[in-house]
Amino acid sequence: MKTRMTVRIILLLLAVAVAATATMVDAAVTLPHDAALDQGYDRTLDPDQGFARAPRTVYRRTFARPDAEGRFSIRFDGVHLESSVSLNGRWIGGFHTGYLPFEVPLEALAPTNTVEVEVSAPQGNARWYQGCGILRDVWLVRRNGWTLEPEAVAVTTELNADGSAVVRVRAEGATVVSPANGEFLVREPRLWTPETPFLQELEVVAKNAAGESDSLKVRYGIRTVEFTKDRGLLLNGRPYRIKGICQHETFGALGAAFSLAATKRELRTLKDLGVNAIRTVHNPFSPRFYELCDELGFLVKDEAFDEWRIQHTANGYHRFFDACWTNDLQTFVHRDRNHPCVIIWSVGNEIPDHATGAEGGVLTRAMVDVVRALDRTRPVAAGICRPAPAFTNGVMSALDVVGLNYNANWFEKLRGWKPVFGSETAPSLAERDTYLFEEKNGRMVPVQSVGHRECAYSPKAFGWAAPAEAALKVQIDAPWSAGEFVWCTYDYLGEPNHTGRNKTQYWPARSSYWGLCDLAGFPKDRYYLYRSRWNETSPTVHLLPDWTHPGLEGKVFPVWCYTNAQEAELFLNGRSQGVRRFADTQDLHLNWNVAYEPGILEVRAKMPDGTTVIDRKVTAGPVAGYVVKKDFESDGLVFFRIDAVDSAGNRVIGCEDEVRVNVLNGILMATDNGDATDHTRFASPVRRLFRGSLLAVIRRTSSDSFPQVNVTRTGFRENRLLSR
């Protein structure tokens, strides 16, 4: 009989007290919960936190003593940032980081008990918005007798030359009874890969020194990982190219509290993009994220720290580093080592200690040793942004694999010495459907920024990083590299980096501009560059810019096409503008210069199988209404996209109407338009469109009735065009 029973606490603390002022306000909340979301923005606060307030928060729940026998505890998957837990007024535990699990015992329970969790997230605790509160799941755990803990069990797999596989199981502090001798042979294994994420379940029985036994079930996948100096990554013994993305575990309008539905939506987007790998930046993610990556098929570079002894931010992890890093790193590896999706351990990202003297190398070696003591089946890496000192002080030598953050010229330098990959590449500032130009002799030349707007062409190159197309070419020309992780998937709250400005000038921008998709999850143009290079199973044909430019008739615009076809022909109102071929250009897009006239701009791309795929841009007329379409649905949440359209149904990206989102058969959770400068509360049903579009997130109230969304322009009583 299994002696550890775990029950998820769906509504942990029925009341939350937010101490933003001396007045305590109680409100019922559902966990996970971000107490900082929608608390407003203050330009005197930390720009990297998105100018957001993070109030000290106290969660409280009263409960009756359980009838069952055993030892009880509460397990928190993550509380951000500093937490203190008390039971009936007595302190019973707490933790110092929001990214790892911890347990507190429930001892000497009374017939009626009150548990309180106090949380604070001081300004300057991270380089991006991380919210505040109980951001991940909470569990009630019961143990009865000796317990075989999940973190004590390690399952590893090895492939033999004849194609069979050996599965080995060990349990720390115990002897594995089943499988016999702690291993078994699989003669014809179904191997786990991102394309074939085959998972199996194994019941492990173990016995301690006193002869007590226990069992638990472990899910695993059979696969091997090897990073080489000349062939890159070998997955199951075969070369495999990483087409990866960097990702923060925050959820836009839903805040930093873990959302299963929002995670699934983002992973669906990544599958469409052709991504096969994700880097967790810059910390361990929720356990449920790794479960999804196992199931859906994503490789994961699992990252432990963004800070060691030397600080990035005033209230970052450096405050706890010396006292806590060893235990935290062990907890990190114990928690995630049975996930087949995890292929690299990262002990740090852009760590200032990497650029110090010999102590940087000594500390890196100590971390690598801690990881290897628990898992030797995966390499240990770090994201290095200052490679010159890291090369000479022993940091790189200590690592199994070198991850380069930018520094494209170092790929050739490291060739043949160490396995290498791009751990962070290709930052580009851009906004969805935002086309900024200056006129030069009748030609419209893209410019990077105007005010707080950023151009979708991303024309600016950074001295410290190669732009997207150049970074892709680096990987094409470096087959010894294992691939790259591009910065980044979605825009995120905080770190509102902005062209030509320092942090004091970021206001009113309160979210980033880096993503391939905006904060609402809608793709930007650069998304299609990567899709054209990474998605090998679906055609990609995407034109830019928009084709509505009143008053600029006759001006010549650069027209780009991202496509995985080898050639394409462009037409303006039925007249050919010529054929373009990748054989004739070094660019990763096709390019025409076209004099603007209203009408239809259409590209016809000839795919390798002989079919023709079309994309077009049409000059839009006045706004006639709004189209509402379901974008995604999962786990009780429905994501709707709302677009302004003209009478012919063409999207009007110039529309910034303020609208009200009305819902039947559901509860409006959030709206968002992707605008980095919009300070409207996410919970508000009234918001303006940005570039003609808006997201609405609805929680279903009935499994039988689908939510109905009705959109009205504020100040008008009549409904406008509505479809689903």
| Tens-place pLDDT, residues 625-662 | 999 999 999 999 999 999 999 999 999 999 999 999 99
Kindly tell me if the per-residue pLDDT of 239 is higher than 50: yes
Q: How far apart are CA 637 and CA 640, in angstroms?
A: 10
Could you identify the residue written with the tokens 């509460």? Answer: 74
β-bridge mates for residue 44, sequence order: none
Check: CB of residue 75 under 8 Å from CB of residue 93: no
Q: Where does 160-291 show beta strands of DSSP type E?
A: 165-171, 175-178, 183-186, 200-207, 213-220, 225-228, 232-235, 238-239, 242-247, 277-280
Tokens of 347: 């002990």
Identify whether 254 is preceded by a cis peptide bond (ω within 30 of 0): no
Mean pLDDT of 155-181: 97
* Alpha carbon distances (Å) from 21 to 18, 24, 57, 79, 406: 8, 7, 11, 22, 44
Check: CB of residue 243 under 8 Å from CB of residue 483: yes
Within 8 A by CB and 6+ apart from 678, the residues are 687, 688, 690
For residue 4, the model assigns a pLDDT of: 65
Check: CB of residue 480 under 8 Å from CB of residue 459: no
**pTM metric for this prediction:** 0.95
Kindly tell me if the per-residue pLDDT of 530 is higher than 90: yes
- β-strand pairing of 380-384 with 342-349: parallel
Inter-helix orientation angle 287-296/260-273, to 10°: 40
Q: Is 547 exposed, middle or buried (0-12, 13-18, 19+ CB in 10 A)?
A: buried
With residue 109 as reference, give the H or E element that holds it. none
Kindly tell me if the per-residue pLDDT of 208 is higher than 60: yes
Kindly tell me if the per-residue pLDDT of 506 is higher than 70: yes
For residue 3, the model assigns a pLDDT of: 55
Kindly tell me if the per-residue pLDDT of 16 is higher than 60: no
Check: CB of residue 174 under 8 Å from CB of residue 148: yes
Q: How confident is the model at residue 13 (pLDDT cuts 50, 70, 90)?
A: very low
Mean pLDDT of 217-235: 97
Q: How confident is the model at residue 718 (pLDDT cuts 50, 70, 90)?
A: very low
Three-state DSSP class for 219?
A: strand
| Tens-place pLDDT, residues 341-354 | 999 999 999 999 99
Q: What percent of the chain has pLDDT over 70?
A: 95
For residue 140, the model assigns a pLDDT of: 92
End-to-end CA distance of the chain: 51
For residue 724, the model assigns a pLDDT of: 23
For residue 649, the model assigns a pLDDT of: 97
Within 8 A by CB and 6+ apart from 234, the residues are 224, 225, 226, 227, 228, 240
Kindly tell me if the per-residue pLDDT of 232 is higher than 80: yes
The per-type count for the chain, helices as H runs and strands as E runs, is 9, 47
Q: How far apart are CA 614 and CA 600, in angstroms?
A: 12
Q: How far apart are CA 2 and CA 58, in angstroms?
A: 34
For residue 441, the model assigns a pLDDT of: 95
- β-strand pairing of 277-280 with 299-303: parallel
For residue 26, the model assigns a pLDDT of: 65
For residue 504, the model assigns a pLDDT of: 85
Residue type, 630: K
For residue 723, the model assigns a pLDDT of: 25
Q: How confident is the model at residue 21 (pLDDT cuts 50, 70, 90)?
A: very low
Contacts 24+ apart (CB under 8 A), 401-404: 401/227, 401/344, 401/482, 403/301, 403/344, 403/346
